[in-house]
Amino acid sequence: MTDVAAPVIAFRGVGVTYRKGPVWNRTEVPAVGAVDLEIAAGETLGLVGESGSGKTTLGRVALGLIRPSRGEFLIEGRPFDPAIRREGALSVVLQHPEWALNPRLRCGVSVAEPLTIRGDLDRQARRQRVASMLERVGLDPGFAERYPGDLSGGQRQRMAIARALITEPRFIVFDEAVSALDVSVQAQILNLIRELQAEHRFAAIFISHDLAATRYISHRIAVMLKGDIVEVAPARTFYDMPAHDYSRALYATIR
Amino acid sequence: MTAAVDIRDFVVAYETGGGAVFALDGIDLAIGAGETLGIVGESGSGKSTLGMAIGRLLAPNARIDAGDILVAGCSVTTSDDETVRRLRRERLGFVFQNPMSALDPTMRIGRQVALAMEGTPDTAAVERLLVRAGLDEPGRVARSFPHELSGGMAQRVVIALAIARNPQILIADEPTASLDASIRDRILDLLFAMRAETGASLVILSHDLRMIVHRCERVIVMYGGRIVEMGESQAVFGSPAHPYTRALIRAAAGNEAPGEQLDPIPGVPPVLRAPSADCAFAPRCAHAAERCRRERPAERAVGGSRVACHFAEEIMAASGTAREVAE
């Protein structure tokens, strides 16, 4: 058992600089300044800001897809180790579920894939796990036999969430996970994420341009502007009056 | 207000392997010259079919069972192909969901834009149009193929194509659905700026009620191929009369109090095998009574809006305005 009080993930002075241009004329583009953040088990941190503010870059650091240029990124108190990905301790849910589901594979196969990669369960056990996971996300287990093309957008996003949760990850990044869905389906998926989090206690980053959805799902919200976090406050603040001018401008868009 | 588009008792069904599925079940609608009209509804409510029908762009398996659409007094359903092509070219502008499938992947942008414009425009004219659509490097964009552009840039090109001949009606079907969520507002800003500049009517189809109310003068709520509520945006959002409109507002994040649970609409939209003889929303409606399952609600005036619900007055009186419901 890990220490319950320790944050699941921690950014300590994390900065990311992209390099672009040919080797003889490299220019450095700062994407993220210096971010300090911690996220505890069972907590969702909302990350809002306009495009180019560094939200997605931070999400990629959290998934170990890019290394920070400065500072350190810790998972359960230890520096990021790629083996943790194979274990299925990290997951991601993206804007388009089509990106997570291979159109030529039956959904059940796609959902079971992270388990297959981990390789600790036999076929029968995997199949059972998929069936119970589908039930958890509100899909009939019979959907495992269908192809992604046979499902509606909301059903596909549930399927993508089932795949993200199948290994019981300790940390999940939701990158614009409800932005492509109908209003009513959005509400279903947001409620589903809340319920699953109450049950599995995963830590989460919810990246979105949509402050209304973000404040609904998050415990705390970090507002990013030009690579820096300008405000971190409890989600409740964003129902009332956030402090930073830029947060207020974002807030004004949903009134 | 003279009508730019006049839709009368319009019924459309799609022939499928499993029999006919009705997408539009008796639409009556006049779109005024220069107005901004938002059409909202879940996937499957029939809004795309309605938008496409205005330009006779329905899929080959679509069948028009009744009614007609007049664009500038000209019937879209009965005119010959050449007349409809001229109508599309000169009076209508379309902006579709996915810009990448709206552009020809084998042709440079500049040529596609030139084709959409009147006569044979020179490079400068093409670039001027691209600049109007908010593209900063018109020369580079004009020389590019669609795959060399980002989704947002490609959608700006599609908007440039749509306004190339100053159409009287712009129809945008979920114009931001396939775009990165963070640039959606800017594309909508452009679309509405172009509408204001050309004086065209803008019909925008979306499931985002908040955006529609924010940006359009008038809103139509569709369900099961019918218009269930229609009125001034502020009136419909401020005091919705149809239970479906209320359910849509309650389901959207942004109206809830802190800590409050969002209420998704239970069930799924119907698949209509025949024009509905009752209220199509009844199976998902909390207020449904026996009458709703027996009798098709007619569209009538309630408050300042037009509503198709037997119990609209009672529901409005019983539950107050949407803001009270939400807050």
Residues A47-67 have a mean pLDDT of 87
User: Is residue A61 a part of any domain in this protein?
Assistant: yes
A121 with A238, same domain: the answer is no
A5 or B4, greater pLDDT: B4
What is the amino acid identity at position A217? Answer: I
CA distance to partner chain A, nearest, from residue B76 (Å): 30
CATH number of the structural domain spanning residue A232:
3.40.50.300
A80 with A177, same domain: the answer is yes
Query: Would you state the structure tokens that stand for residue A59, as one six-digit string?
Result: 């999400």
Query: Would you state the structure tokens that stand for residue B324, as one six-digit string?
Result: 């009270």
CATH number of the structural domain spanning residue B56:
3.40.50.300
A145 with A178, same domain: the answer is no
In which domain, by residue range, is A216 found?
Answer: 1-89+169-255
Which one of A51, A185, A190 has the shortest CB-CB distance to B182? A51
User: Is residue B162 a part of any domain in this protein?
Assistant: no
Q: Write down which residue in A168, A184, A202 finishes a domain.
A: A168
Residues in chain B within 8 Å Cβ distance of A176: 180-181
User: Is residue B109 a part of any domain in this protein?
Assistant: no
Cβ(A164)–Cβ(A172) below 8 Å? yes
Query: Would you state the structure tokens that stand for residue B72, as one six-digit string?
Result: 């500038």
What pLDDT, in 10s, does the model give residues B182-200? 788 889 999 999 999 999 9
Across the interface, whether the CB atoms of B264 and A185 are under 8 A apart is answered yes
User: Is residue A96 a part of any domain in this protein?
Assistant: no
A80 with A106, same domain: the answer is no
A74 with A175, same domain: the answer is yes
What pLDDT, in 10s, does the model give residues B78-113? 999 999 999 999 999 999 988 988 999 999 999 999
Q: What is the pLDDT of residue B323?
A: 45
Helix (H), strand (E), coil (C) string for B141-202: HHHCCHHHCCHHHHHHHHHHHHHCCCCCEEEEECCCCCCCHHHHHHHHHHHHHHHHHHCCEE
Distance CA B140, CA B54 (A): 34
Q: Write down which residue in A168, A184, A203 finishes a domain.
A: A168
A163 with A242, same domain: the answer is no
* The dihedral formed by the CA atoms of A98, A102, A103 and A109, expressed in degrees to the nearest 10: -120
pTM score over 0.90: no
All residues at 6 or more sequence positions from A96 whose CB lies less than 8 Å from its CB, including other chains: A180
State how many domains chain B has. Answer: 1
What pLDDT, in 10s, does the model give residues A221-247? 999 988 899 999 999 888 887 778 777
A241 with A138, same domain: the answer is no
Q: Examine the pLDDT at B277 and tell me if it is beyond 70.
A: yes
User: Is residue A94 a part of any domain in this protein?
Assistant: no
Q: What is the pLDDT of residue B4?
A: 92
State how many domains chain A has. Answer: 2
User: Is residue B143 a part of any domain in this protein?
Assistant: no
Query: Would you state the structure tokens that stand for residue B147, as one six-digit string?
Result: 């795959």
The residue behind tokens 């990044």 is A173
The residue behind tokens 């995963």 is A202
In which domain, by residue range, is B44 found?
Answer: 3-91+167-255+264-326
**Which 8-state DSSP code applies to residue A3?**
-
A186 with A161, same domain: the answer is no
Q: Write down which residue in A168, A202, A223 finishes a domain.
A: A168
User: Is residue B215 a part of any domain in this protein?
Assistant: yes
Among B182, B205, B256, most A C-beta atoms within 10 A, so best to mutate, is: B182
User: Is residue B155 a part of any domain in this protein?
Assistant: no
Query: In the predicted model, what is the mean pLDDT of chain A?
Result: 87
Interface of A with B in 86-105 (CB under 8 A): 95
Residues A197-217 have a mean pLDDT of 91
User: Is residue B42 a part of any domain in this protein?
Assistant: yes
- The percentage of residues in chain B with a pLDDT greater than 90, rounded to a whole number, is 68
A34 with A113, same domain: the answer is no
User: Is residue B131 a part of any domain in this protein?
Assistant: no
A249 with A186, same domain: the answer is yes
